[in-house]
Amino acid sequence: MKYIYTFLCMFLLSGVPCAYGETPITGGFGLTLGAKFETNEIIVPWEQPGSEGLSIFKFEPENPSNIFTDFVVVTTQITRRICLIVASVEGPCREQFDALALVLVEKYGVPDEQAATWHKWYSKKSSNAMVLRCLDNELRTSYENLDICRSGISEVEADKKEKAKTKAKAEADNLFSGVASAEDKCSYEEGDGTRLYIKRVISGGSEMYRAKFCYAQDCRLIAKTMDEKELAEWYCK
């Protein structure tokens, strides 16, 4: 009777309430969405449009599948958080699709979205989802969290900004490494234009003294270089 009821839920999809199918969608094949994938080796290049900030890996599940043969996992590039788990097998897939769909209905309930070649289930407590499809002689099932995938882009952008900031600081340190401080004695010291100042443009901050040079042309060179690197006004007087 249970299997007949499952078939009705699957076939009719007309609001018939199923008494089961409450299993949370957390991941599959031994992996959990949102968890860190422990590896450093990129085996498959990720070249799909919109894949910035993501990495893709092949993996073998701890418990072998008697249906699927190929397994990949997609993670965020910086933190390696799992956002997509995919298992697939090539070949005629209609019968396998129908049989596996019945099992998934029993596990997750009636699909939230469906078409002739695919079914999709959404988690009720998170942004996780599960997709089963049979298309172009390929049976594929995937567990996904697109919010985590999108966060990979933000992580990469933040990492680029941090690296740029670190690089700019290092360059600034190099520029100032040969600068004489106010206490240093120059063999020859010009008067005006040898003292370097900065004024923040956005904050409208007050003038800040930064360094003293023996020669005004050295001060102007540093001011020009720093002006191009920071959102601030650098000048000598």
Q: How confident is the model at residue 115 (pLDDT cuts 50, 70, 90)?
A: very high
Residue 225 has a pLDDT of: 82
Residue 123 has a pLDDT of: 92
Residue 12 has a pLDDT of: 37
Predicted confidence (pLDDT) per residue in 143-167, tens digit: 999 999 989 888 888 888 888 777 7
Do 106 and 20 touch, CB atoms closer than 8 A?
Answer: yes
Burial 100-117 (b: 16+ CB within 10 A, else e): bbeebbbebbbbeeeeee
Do 47 and 55 touch, CB atoms closer than 8 A?
Answer: no
- 23 — phi, psi (to 5°)? -65, 130
In degrees, rounded to 5, the angle at the alpha carbon of residue 228 between the alpha carbons of residues 226 and 229 is: 65
Give the residue carrying structure tokens 């049976």: 139
Q: How confident is the model at residue 11 (pLDDT cuts 50, 70, 90)?
A: very low
Helix (H) or strand (E) holding 28: strand 27-28
Predicted confidence (pLDDT) per residue in 224-235, tens digit: 888 777 778 888
Give Cβ neighbours of residue 119 (< 8 Å, ≥ 6 apart). Answer: 101, 104, 111, 113, 131, 132, 133
Residue 159 has a pLDDT of: 81
Looking at the predicted structure, is the pLDDT value of residue 192 above 50? yes
Residue 148 has a pLDDT of: 94
- 213 — phi, psi (to 5°)? -120, 160
Tokens of 118: 């695919």
Question: How many residues appear in the chain?
Answer: 237
Predicted confidence (pLDDT) per residue in 162-186, tens digit: 887 777 667 666 655 555 444 455 6
